[in-house]
A = this chain, B = another copy of it.
């Protein structure tokens, strides 16, 4: 194989590793949306958003199509939502673990 599997995985995760791209994916979980809507909700320059969307597109995570003068984006597979959910869960566990540790440390002095 040309690209080791673990490298493809790393690339995929890295593709998700950007605040704007995460927000886009979260918004797209509710269904397809035009760029203009994303732009209205994300506070980023149009050209920057386009760059981020292009990255997600190239990674195959989202797809785009035109609809009545607007360009729409959508998740390429609902599995993306599962990935985000798993991420959310870990984040929750890690943060509560930290809080737990913090509380433990505080109780000591």
B97 to A60, Cβ gap below 8 A?
yes
Binding site for B on A (CB under 8 A): 4-19, 21-23, 26, 59-61, 76-77, 79-80, 82-84, 86-91, 93-95, 97-98
A13 to B13, Cβ gap below 8 A?
yes
Which residues on the B side are within 8 Å of A16 (C-beta)?
10, 13-14, 17
State the main secondary structure of chain A at its contact with B. helix
CB distance from A94 to the nearest CB of B (A): 4
CB-CB nearest in chain B for A94: B60
CB-CB nearest in chain B for A75: B90
Q: How far is the CA of A83 from the CA of B16 in the complex (A)?
A: 13
A87 to B77, Cβ gap below 8 A?
no
CB-CB nearest in chain B for A23: B6
A18 to B22, Cβ gap below 8 A?
no
Q: How far is the CA of A74 from the CA of B25 in the complex (A)?
A: 30
B21 to A10, Cβ gap below 8 A?
yes
Which residues on the B side are within 8 Å of A12 (C-beta)?
17, 87, 90-91, 94
Which residues on the B side are within 8 Å of A10 (C-beta)?
16-19, 21-22
